[in-house]
Amino acid sequence: MKLAAILFSAIAVLAQNTSATKFTGTWEARFNGAVFCVLKVQSGEKLAGSMTGVDLGVDNDGNLTSAQAKDEEFPIVKPSIENDSLTFEWTDDSNEPPLKFELKLTGNHEAQLRFLTLPEGVKIKPLIFTRRD
């Protein structure tokens, strides 16, 4: 019975690592041709990564009207993979609660980043990210 438990644990770890590799790499979001946000995901024993800060402008329907990159990079927190989605928390202000995000794969090198938490009354449509490497 112990052998079965060890094998099951090994298979679960391998499945997690295989899922994690789908997200591994540098992801970029563009607005009017310019990169405004970079998400880096590393897989290993533990999933980790970072995302750059960004100033976004949106209209009432949640469409981007402006997007300006910031130079600062902040770690992603509590990354978790389920099916074709990576969820994580992130903040660029330690005085504010973290925002929650979902990165959902839509192709081999394309994904949508959806805000799972937003300030009340704010609407932002999913952002398209492309894997650079």
**Residue type present at position 45:** E
At 18-67, the pLDDT tens digits run 578 899 999 999 999 999 999 999 998 889 999 999 999 999 999 999 99
Domains located in the chain, CATH noted: 2-131 (2.40.128.210)
Among 41, 103, 107, which Cα is nearest to 75's? Answer: 41
Which residue reads 């509590």 in tokens?
78
* CB-based burial, 10-45: b 16+ in 10 Å, e otherwise: eeeeeeeeebbebbbbebbbebeeeebbbbbbebee
At 74-101, the pLDDT tens digits run 999 999 998 889 999 999 888 988 999 9
Euclidean distance between CA atoms 66 and 58, whole angstroms:
7
